[in-house]
Amino acid sequence: MKKFNQLLHEPLTWKNDDIWGRTYTLRHGDTVLAHLEQDQGLFKSDASIYVPDEEKALYVFRPKGILNRRLEVESRDIDFVPAKLIPHTWSDGVTIHFSSGNQYEWNKTDFWGRTWQLTTAEGVTIATQKLGTWSNKGIFTILSDAPAPAELTQLIFAGWVQMILELQAAAA
């Protein structure tokens, strides 16, 4: 699997694959990088990230808690750095605290939540994610003037999952 910091300055696009909004594909041009599948059921909304030609999920994001919301992440990725993902209580977005001490945030930048940005704890913007017209596709752009953090792959996946969860919560 290509690491996203190897794809700097090139857009990554994602699109909903089915009518029910439970599977999505992330691409770099014509190359499939990953699939997101969401399990839905009573009190369950796990989001699993698969890479092509793999049967087991590389990452599984599990929403936990009612009052103390968070996303727990399981991974088979050897480069995985443990992190706490804490969705914001009163606004769309998520704060990501890595065990290494690095901290990042995905936040919406407009009223409708169609554009999000990834920033460091110091406020430096690393990437943006923008929804398409019908909210069934989007595009990630890694900004050219920002250095790529080692955790960029995990950060892109976290932003992708958070946006999908926010879209589904708004539609419910």
Q: In Å, how far are 29, 59, 76, 149 from 80, measured between CA atoms?
A: 25, 9, 8, 13
The pTM assigned to this predicted structure is 0.83
Note the pLDDT of residue 149. 79
Provide the percentage of residues in the chain whose pLDDT is more than 70.
81
pLDDT tens string 79-122? 777 788 888 776 678 899 888 889 999 998 888 778 999 999 99
- Characterize the bridge pairing of strands 137-142 and 23-28: unpaired
pLDDT tens string 132-166? 877 788 999 888 676 677 788 888 888 888 888 77
* Structural domains of the chain in order of their starting residue, each with its CATH number: 10-171 (2.40.160.200)
